[in-house]
Structure 1
Amino acid sequence: MAKVDIKMPEEFLQKISRLGSEFDAVAESVLEAGGEVVLARVKGNLSGVVGQGTKYDSRSTGELERSIGLSPAKLDRDGNHNVKIGFVEPRSDGDSNAKIANILEYGKHGQPAKPFLKPARTASKSAAITAMQKKFEEEVEKR
């Protein structure tokens, strides 16, 4: 059996120990700060691809763009804090926003893919990490 030792920087561990019982609240606010950065990038990418490069005039109502949002930070069954970017369901026409977003992202027969989620994730990774680090430092200084 393999053995793994993961060593965290001492300074980081001291900051976490200072938080004590407030760690969960801080973790949630830090994740939401990073999620807001990614959400802004996803919205920008989505508005850039909707209705662009089509043979016919766009029939976009803007409902998909309005439905995208960020979930509050929640604790999963494994003890990890998560935030999610997703779409409010259902649409006014009864269709699914997630289905339409999937067709945009990956395309379908006769409709080329117009990725907006994956490029947003890639492009906003470092900015989200920076925002989360900044928020973490602010929260540690408050306590």
Structure 2
Amino acid sequence: MAKVDIKMPDEFLERMSRLGKDFDTVAESVLKAGGEVVLQKVQSNLSAVVGSGTKYESRSTGELETALGLTPAKTDKDGNHNVKVGFAEPRSDGGSNEKLANILEYGKHGQPAKPFLKPAKSASRSACKAAMQQKFEEEVRKL
């Protein structure tokens, strides 16, 4: 699965730490809001590259695009809250969606790279932070 780390400003993280017992619920909703922004950008980039620029007619089934999704917010062993944008496994034919995504992203012999993850990361960084900050302000007002 591709990994994207988007670091939040220190002042924002400090405000989050003041929430006390409500931190986990607020963090989960804030991360989900940011993850949705990144997911939409990855989906649009993936749709643009699948089947484009090929010598032969595309054999795309659409299964890779439908397998793309967002995980629920979870806490890792270090206490960090995370959401992941990735592909559900396995494919109906027994293959790997992550393998196909990797081939699309980086190419292979005889198939040029068609990056969709790295451009999505770059393009959605500021929008993701803005969505997360807006959701944070909204959640704090509720408390």
Change (3 A) 1:14 1:100: closer
Partner of 1:107: 107
1:105–1:117 contact (8 Å) kept in structure 2: yes
Partner of 2:131: 131
Classify the secondary structure of the residue corresponding to 2:58.
Answer: coil
1:50–1:60 contact (8 Å) kept in structure 2: yes
* Alpha-carbon distance in structure 1 between the residues aligned to 2:86 and 2:16: 32
* Alpha-carbon distance in structure 1 between the residues aligned to 2:15 and 2:46: 41
Extract unaligned runs of 5+ from structure 1. Answer: 1-7
Extract unaligned runs of 5+ from structure 2. Answer: 1-9
Partner of 1:33: 33
Offset at residue 97 of structure 1 (A): 0.2
1:15–1:140 contact (8 Å) kept in structure 2: no
* Alpha-carbon distance in structure 2 between the residues aligned to 1:100 and 1:15: 38
Structure (1 or 2) with the larger CA radius of gyration: 1
1:73–1:83 contact (8 Å) kept in structure 2: yes
List aligned pairs for 1:5-84, cutoff 5 A.
9=11, 13=14, 16-17=17-18, 19-84=19-84
List, as ranges, runs of 4+ consecutive aligned residues in structure 1 with deviation greater than 4 Å. Answer: 11-16
Identity of aligned residues (%): 70
Q: Residue by residue, what CA displacement relative to the aligned partner does 1:39-84 show, whole Å, maximum 9, x if unpaired?
A: 0000000000000000000000000000000000000000000000
Number of corresponding residues: 134
